[in-house]
Amino acid sequence: MIRIQPHSSYLTLILLLLMPFGRAFAGWNNFIVNFDKNLYGKGTQTWQIAPYDDHWVYFANKNGMVQFDGNVWKVFPMNNFSDVRSVLASTIQKRIYAGGINEFGYYEPAADGELVYHCMSDTLGADSRFLGNVWGIHEADNILYVQGDDRVVKYLNGKYTTIEMDAKIDCSNMVNGILYIGTDRGVWVLVGNTFFPLQGAESLASNRIRGIIPHKGGGVIIVTAYDGLFYSNGRTTVPFITGAEDFMRENEVFCVASQDDKIALGTIHKGVLLIDCATMNVKYFNENNGLRNNTVLSVAFDSQGNLWAGLDSGVDYISLSSSFTNLYSYPYSYGTGYTAAVEDGYLYLGTNRGLYYTSYPVKLNGDLPDIHPIPQSSGQVWNLCKIGDDLFCLHDRGIFQIKGTSVRRITDITGAWYCQEVVGQPDRMFVGVYNGIYLLEKKAGEWSVLCKVDGFMDSCRLFEQESARVLWVYNSGTLMRIELSEDLTRQINMKFYGVAEGLPVERDIHVAKIEGRVYFATPQGIYKYNIHKDMMEPCSDLNNLLNGAVPYTRLLEYHDRLISLSPHEICIANLGTYKRGANTSINPIRQSLLELVPPYEALIPLSDSLIVIPSEEGFALFTIPAVKHRQDLTHSVYIRNMHLTYPKDSLVFTANFLGKKPSLTIDYTSNSVRFDYSLSFIALGSDDVRFQYRLNGGDWSDYTTVRTKEYSNLSEGDYTFEVKVIYPDGTTSADDISFRVLPPWYRSAPAYVCYFILALLGFWYVYRWDDIRVKRKKQQAVVEKDKELHEMEKEFEAEKALREKQIMQLEKEKLEYDLQHKSQEMANLMINFVRKNEMLTEIKSEIFKVASSLKGEGAREGKQLLVVINSKIDSNIQSDEVLKRIEDQFDLIHNNFMKRLHARHPDLSNNERMMCAYLKMNLSTKEIAPLLNISVRGVETIRYRLRKKFGLEREDSLTDYLSNKL
């Protein structure tokens, strides 16, 4: 039983009764992130939410226990596949408890990090087995409490105790170590193993209790479905007045969560009600300002002070701790925001649809914002500018002067971008239009066109005055410095400035005037103009004052502050004290929530602490933090998964809520790995981050936005993979995982044991081999002797064979000599025979001459004698014996050529056979003719007959036939 001192009780009652009614929070609507049920298996109702730390959140969902690690959703069903009604993230037992229908248990990470379910209800006795719906799980002093429909089960030291309640239990909570339950018979507390009614709370017996939460000053706050909140100190119970009692009564409160001074109530019909108990301000979140569904079944605060809401369909995340809020959201949109201004109690909003207004401060009470269009302003609004006491709307259709809730067009100018008071001339202003610059003048309270600046015809979207006569104009990738005449009516000089003149880029340049000097915001920092060099140069003073030479899209001076806008952050610095070391406030912009409209980004200060930022979805309000607070991002990056990619993709590690990393060992055959690393969704500024990684303490990689890294063909050894994230403000976070690649089988410990055994066997073999070698050596000596004798015999035989070979060689040489001698003899014989025949032929010729010269009576006898001599000569030329000798000699020399010739061609005549022999001897036709005692023509005739008898074609050679084919 809770007890407090009497005087304290009365003081509390007085304070509660004197509390003011609820008021709206400062600021606009908080950004809400919607998570569709399709992300986690289309499970509808989410009954309970349990954040574990900065990025692990667990949900009791219709499909099972749902885990969200800041990036990925996973569903873990229970054994009986029932709806999960409750979930508890235990920081003491390091478990995630879950309760369903007649079942409860817990999830723990396995060796690879994957959650494994352990059922506890299976060990309950038969009389306690049917718990019904397990709507609550709590722990205190190492005791686990499981709340069912009509009973509570205590678990201590492995034993279960069932405590039945004679009532329907609607809710329960553990407050300061005491279990409170809300039933249809009021509020009860568990003391030991017995329920007692909460003292002083008897009046609540007829109310439907939805939740019980601790009160910061002691005691508890009891939440009812229709009758609001009640405070109980353990002796008395009084209403806890918030000013939203009518809202609760009309929309039925279903769930509650608290943190510090904040109480979040989820309703059945109108979303979430947020109460700040310190100020009694209230705030509403419903379908009008971004909530996906108005039926809220569960709410829970995370460690950052943001709020999770489990809906009838889907889950929403309400960013309470962010400095950014929004005015309206889809589908209740008034267009894309471009500009805004505050004047005379009105907030004017310029969008692509026209000009709108609402009261300022904006009143938000859970309904749609009270925003109205200004008549005759439909169309694109580019800027809202104040000149003196006049507020102008720069519009696609021209320039309008705003008076309250109406506008009046001034001049016949069309397509106006921006206007600015002429330096030193408060009754004049420059107006940048689509095709030049106009000079307007105010006379008798009315503005009129003085002239259009002659000579300048370009579009003038952004400009700033260096002086009344010198303008810097940027438009569509071109920066110009324009000098005007004394009367400001015409352009007398213009020069373009780009990379050649010192700028880092040609595009995305914004002109701003800070403390009377023109500066240029670029994607590579802030630049200034050096008039002496007529060049651009980096401005180190302003860069160091803000966040370094990073991309800047806008610069603005407001009071004594310098405000810069970058794609991912807002920087605020103090111009008056920065040289003395004042800190700069760097505030990340979460682009997933706030998407700017390039190149029309704008900053519109409403006060020293409020800045309006137009966006794609409308308008955001940035509240400058009173105290510089930096979110702890030390553990924001984490290695989510580790996969083996060869020979097939397999998961060996997944991140878990305990941060446990196993001692991983990988086979050498699977030595290709992939790491997936991420940032938690909850980490602010996670849109513009860069990663670096390294392996085994090597050099960090280049900056990358890729969130996966793969290594292949790793050699054996120990490895540590590290990943680091760098935020825009320079904050870093890191994570690592270690693993070991085992050596291949032939370099493993068993392999080395085998090698050792084989070495011993080798040594034993060498020893045995040496013993055998000695024996063999002795045997070999005998063999060697025999071999020597055998070799001597072989040498003797070889010498004998050599001598025989030499003898044969000598005999061969003798035969060759004899053959050569015979050939020479036959050649000499042939030569002699040829000479003899030639001589005899000459003698015959002379005899014919002598015979023809003989005349007279004695001539007859002389001629007869000469004929006899001639006949003897012919017989001598045709001597068969000589031919026979030549033929025998020829056969002896040429391997029986004549015999082979006669055998193949027996029909040859003697002259033809001799002709063949002469051709075989390579004698010429002239040499053959006297041998055959015929003319040269006769020799050709015999050659022709031989070719015919041999059957040779025209292209065949007769000599080749006789030499090679016969």
Residue 337 has pLDDT above 90, yes or no: yes
Distance, in Å, from the CA atom of 755 to the CA atom of 729, rounded to the nearest integer, reads: 58
Identity (one letter) of the amino acid at 8?
S
Which residue would you say has higher pLDDT here, 204 or 878?
204
pLDDT confidence of residue 625: 82
Distance, in Å, from the CA atom of 97 to the CA atom of 56, rounded to the nearest integer, reads: 14
Residue 408 has pLDDT above 50, yes or no: yes
- Mapped onto helix, strand or coil, the DSSP state of residue 273 is strand
**What's the pLDDT band for 878 if we cut at 50, 70, 90?**
low
- Of the candidates 271, 230, 229, 238, the one whose C-alpha atom is nearest the C-alpha of residue 365 is 271
Distance, in Å, from the CA atom of 72 to the CA atom of 96, rounded to the nearest integer, reads: 17
Helix 749-853 to helix 859-877 angle (10° resolution) is 170
Do 884 and 915 form a contact (C-beta atoms < 8 A)? no
Q: State how far Cα 604 lies from the chain centre.
A: 37
- Mapped onto helix, strand or coil, the DSSP state of residue 665 is strand
Residue 181 has pLDDT above 80, yes or no: yes
Residue 794 has pLDDT above 80, yes or no: yes
Distance, in Å, from the CA atom of 63 to the CA atom of 314, rounded to the nearest integer, reads: 12
Residue 883 has pLDDT above 70, yes or no: no
Distance, in Å, from the CA atom of 941 to the CA atom of 962, rounded to the nearest integer, reads: 17
Query: Which whole number is the average pLDDT over 307-325?
Result: 92
Distance, in Å, from the CA atom of 84 to the CA atom of 810, rounded to the nearest integer, reads: 117
Residue 557: is it exposed, middle or buried by C-beta count within 10 angstroms (0-12/13-18/19+)?
A: middle
Do 2 and 234 form a contact (C-beta atoms < 8 A)? yes
pLDDT confidence of residue 306: 92
Do 721 and 639 form a contact (C-beta atoms < 8 A)? yes
Kindly state the helix (H) or strand (E) to which residue 888 belongs, with its residue range: helix 880-893
Do 544 and 531 form a contact (C-beta atoms < 8 A)? no
**What's the pLDDT band for 629 if we cut at 50, 70, 90?**
low
Distance, in Å, from the CA atom of 416 to the CA atom of 384, rounded to the nearest integer, reads: 11
- 381 contacts: CB under 8 Å, gap ≥ 6: 338, 339, 350, 351, 352, 354, 355, 393, 394, 395, 396
**What's the pLDDT band for 633 if we cut at 50, 70, 90?**
low
Residue 18 has pLDDT above 70, yes or no: no
CA dihedral 152, 156, 160, 164 (to 10 degrees): -20
**What's the pLDDT band for 428 if we cut at 50, 70, 90?**
very high
Residue 661: how many CB atoms within 10 A of its CB?
Answer: 17
463-467, 485-489, 746-750: least confidently modelled range = 746-750
Using the 8-state DSSP alphabet, how is residue 458 labeled? S
Q: Would you say how long the chain is, in residues?
A: 966
Query: Which whole number is the average pLDDT over 144-152?
Result: 94
pLDDT confidence of residue 397: 94
CA dihedral 326, 329, 332, 334 (to 10 degrees): 60
Which domains occur in the chain, in start order?
1-30+176-323 (2.130.10.10), 44-164 (2.130.10.10), 637-747 (2.60.40.10), 761-877 (no CATH), 878-966 (1.10.10)
Residue 596 has pLDDT above 90, yes or no: no
Residue 124 has pLDDT above 70, yes or no: yes
Kindly state the helix (H) or strand (E) to which residue 296 belongs, with its residue range: strand 296-301
Q: What are phi and psi of 426, to 5 degrees?
A: -65, -15
Q: How far is CA 935 from CA 593, 827, 948, in A?
A: 125, 22, 20
Sign of CA dihedral 239, 242, 243, 248: negative
**What's the pLDDT band for 8 if we cut at 50, 70, 90?**
very low
**The two structure tokens encoding residue 53:** 């730390």
Distance, in Å, from the CA atom of 413 to the CA atom of 433, rounded to the nearest integer, reads: 8
Do 445 and 453 form a contact (C-beta atoms < 8 A)? no
**The two structure tokens encoding residue 880:** 């068969």
Do 323 and 624 form a contact (C-beta atoms < 8 A)? yes
Which strands sit side by side in the sheet containing 708-711, from one edge to the other? 650-654, 637-644, 673-679, 708-711
Ranges of beta strands (E only) in 157-271 are 159-164, 169-175, 178-183, 186-191, 194-197, 209-214, 220-224, 229-232, 237-240, 253-259, 262-267
Query: Helix/strand/coil (H, E, C) string of 543-571?
Result: HHHCCCCCCCCEEEEECCEEEEEECCEEE
Query: Which whole number is the average pLDDT over 317-325?
Result: 89
Q: Could you read off the pLDDT of 249-306 as tens digits, one per residue?
A: 999 999 999 999 999 999 999 999 999 988 888 999 999 888 999 999 999 999 888 9
pLDDT confidence of residue 882: 60
- Mapped onto helix, strand or coil, the DSSP state of residue 585 is strand
Q: Could you read off the pLDDT of 49-92 as tens digits, one per residue?
A: 999 887 899 999 999 999 998 889 999 999 989 999 999 999 88
pLDDT confidence of residue 774: 86
Do 189 and 199 form a contact (C-beta atoms < 8 A)? no
Q: How does DSSP assign 396-407, residue by residue?
A: TTEEEEEETTEE
The distance in angstroms from the start CA to the end CA of the chain is: 140
Q: Could you read off the pLDDT of 429-453 as tens digits, one per residue?
A: 999 999 999 999 999 889 999 999 9
- Mapped onto helix, strand or coil, the DSSP state of residue 7 is helix
Please count the helices (runs of H) and the strands (runs of E) in the chain: 11, 66
Residue with tokens 């996973």: 74
**What's the pLDDT band for 627 if we cut at 50, 70, 90?**
low
pLDDT confidence of residue 5: 35
pLDDT confidence of residue 171: 94
- Mapped onto helix, strand or coil, the DSSP state of residue 893 is helix
**The two structure tokens encoding residue 374:** 């200004």
Residue 10 has pLDDT above 60, yes or no: no
Q: What are phi and psi of 481, to 5 degrees?
A: -110, 115
Q: Could you read off the pLDDT of 559-592 as tens digits, one per residue?
A: 888 999 988 888 888 887 655 445 778 888 877 6
Query: Helix/strand/coil (H, E, C) string of 25-75?
Result: CCCCEECEEEECHHHHCCCCCEEEEEECCCCCEEEEECCEEEEECCCCEEE
pLDDT confidence of residue 185: 92
- 670 contacts: CB under 8 Å, gap ≥ 6: 644, 646, 647, 650
Residue 347: how many CB atoms within 10 A of its CB?
Answer: 22
Distance, in Å, from the CA atom of 919 to the CA atom of 935, rounded to the nearest integer, reads: 16
- 658 contacts: CB under 8 Å, gap ≥ 6: 94, 109
Q: How far is CA 864 from CA 126, 252, 420, 447, 852, in A?
A: 168, 174, 159, 167, 12
φ/ψ region of 148 (left if φ > 0, alpha if ψ in -120 to 50, else beta) reads beta
Query: Helix/strand/coil (H, E, C) string of 893-962?
Result: HCCCHHHHHHHHCCCCCHHHHHHHHHHHCCCCHHHHHHHHCCCHHHHHHHHHHHHHHHCCCCCCCHHHHH
- Mapped onto helix, strand or coil, the DSSP state of residue 903 is helix
Q: Could you read off the pLDDT of 819-874 as tens digits, one per residue?
A: 667 666 666 666 676 667 677 777 877 787 777 777 666 677 777 777 778 777 77
- Of the candidates 441, 394, 426, the one whose C-alpha atom is nearest the C-alpha of residue 413 is 394
Distance, in Å, from the CA atom of 66 to the CA atom of 76, rounded to the nearest integer, reads: 6
